[in-house]
């Protein structure tokens, strides 16, 4: 019988437990708020009465909690003996260092951690194109490949347990920054009577940054920051226009002002005539 324990039943944990049930797994669930397991139990999941009972039910345990503080508090409820022999697929979001610390802590107790960073929102779990960053012992990941692939595809990064968290946080850095830009732009649009629906096709075009990323990446790798295509000084002028438009619209200008500050730092560092890509080095020095 294929079986798994799911600890944490937020939107992501519920989607994962549901995917396992859909795939014919025997699923044991535990959540700090037991009521969240109700509909999963109605579908056939078993609700564990304690963390220790949840761990004892299966060798493979998938953990999806808000952060590693929450995970530490949950796992502290289990004895060393109960933790031993388990594989924990840790899909909890936190820093690379916390992932490494957790892996070491579990290893001391005879358990193995597979670190993961899920690259899709809960509705994407179980869909064909969904992927998760994984790092940790490759042999353990291969042993549980079929169970992991119930949730998403596998993008293996290496043995270092912190790598999955590192790649995930880099992606989330870009994600939140880009979405904040969209929301700020939409606030300016609405302040000028343009609805989100009316601006939607323009937003989609503006947010499609693939050309720039693909153009810039090899130049950054080569250390080529020549300003024959774009220049930071041009960016400063452009961002000043954005900031003035924002303020004239009665919208909070703190977001474009923060970006403008970074661009001005590039000019101060002597990169005014260099490409935007030179900001990578400026940011690393800050």
Q: What is the pLDDT of residues 252-278, one digit of tens each?
A: 999 999 999 999 999 999 999 999 999
> Is 50 in the same domain as 121?
yes
CATH number reported for the structural domain that contains residue 264 in this entry? 1.10.1040.10
Q: Over 80: is that where the pLDDT of 285 sits?
A: no
Q: What is the pLDDT of residues 105-115, one digit of tens each?
A: 999 999 999 99
The percent of residues in the chain predicted with pLDDT above 70, rounded, is 99
Which of 130, 160, 190 is where one domain is finished?
160
Q: Over 80: is that where the pLDDT of 136 sits?
A: yes
Q: pTM of the entire structure? A: 0.92
**Domain tally for the chain?**
2
> Is 212 in the same domain as 90?
no
Which of 127, 160, 193 is where one domain is finished?
160
Q: How far is CA 268 from the centre of its chain?
A: 33
What is the torsion angle, in degrees rounded to the nearest 10, for the CA atoms of residue 248, residue 207, residue 221 and residue 255?
30
CATH number reported for the structural domain that contains residue 52 in this entry? 3.40.50.720
Which of 103, 138, 160 is where one domain is finished?
160
> Is 216 in the same domain as 135?
no
> Is 281 in the same domain as 222?
yes
> Is 16 in the same domain as 148?
yes
**Whole domain around residue 11: which residue ranges?**
3-160
Six-digit token string for 72: 């530490």
Q: What is the pLDDT of residues 87-97, one digit of tens each?
A: 999 999 999 99
Q: What is the pLDDT of residues 16-65, one digit of tens each?
A: 999 999 999 999 999 999 999 999 999 999 999 999 999 999 999 999 99
> Is 255 in the same domain as 281?
yes
Written as one string, the DSSP assignment of the chain is --EEEEE--SHHHHHHHHHHHHTT-EEEEE-SSGGGGHHHHHTTPEEPSSHHHHHHH-SEEEE--SSHHHHHHHHTTS-HHHHTT-EEEE-----HHHHHHHHHHHHHTT-EEEEEEE-S-GGGTT-TT-EEEEES-HHHHHHTHHHHHHH-EEEEEES-TTHHHHHHHHHHHHHHHHHHHHHHHHHHHHHTT--HHHHHHHHHHHH--HHHHHHHHHHHHHT----SS--HHHHHHHHHHHHHHHHHTT---HHHHHHHHHHHHHIIIIITTS-GGGHHHHHHH-
> Is 48 in the same domain as 140?
yes
């Amino acid at each position: 019988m294929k079986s798994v324990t799911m600890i944490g039943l937020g939107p992501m944990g519920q989607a994962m437990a549901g995917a396992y049930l859909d795939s014919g797994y025997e699923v044991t669930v535990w959540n700090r708020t037991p009521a969240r397991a109700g509909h999963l139990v109605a579908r056939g999941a078993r609700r564990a009465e304690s963390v220790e009972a949840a761990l004892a039910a299966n060798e493979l345990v998938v953990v999806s909690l808000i952060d590693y503080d929450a995970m530490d508090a949950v796992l502290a409820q289990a004895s060393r003996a109960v933790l031993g022999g388990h594989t924990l697929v840790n899909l909890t979001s936190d820093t690379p260092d916390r992932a490494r610390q957790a892996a070491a802590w579990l290893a001391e107790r005879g358990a193995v951690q597979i670190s993961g960073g899920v690259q899709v929102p809960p509705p994407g779990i179980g869909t064909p194109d969904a992927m998760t960053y994984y790092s940790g012992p490759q042999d353990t990941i291969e042993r549980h490949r079929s169970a992991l692939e119930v949730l998403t595809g596998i993008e293996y990064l290496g043995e270092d347990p912190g790598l999955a968290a590192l790649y995930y946080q880099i992606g989330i850095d870009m994600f939140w920054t880009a979405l904040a830009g969209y929301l700020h732009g939409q606030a300016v649009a609405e302040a000028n009577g343009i609805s989100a629906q009316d601006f939607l096709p323009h937003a989609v075009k503006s947010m499609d940054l693939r050309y720039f990323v693909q153009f810039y990446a090899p130049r950054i790798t080569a250390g080529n920051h020549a300003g024959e295509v774009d220049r930071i000084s041009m960016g400063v002028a452009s961002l000043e226009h954005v900031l003035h438009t924002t303020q004239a619209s009665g919208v909070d200008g703190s977001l474009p002002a923060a970006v403008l500050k970074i661009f001005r730092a590039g000019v101060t560092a002597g990169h005014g005539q260099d490409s935007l890509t030179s900001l990578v080095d400026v940011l690393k020095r800050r």
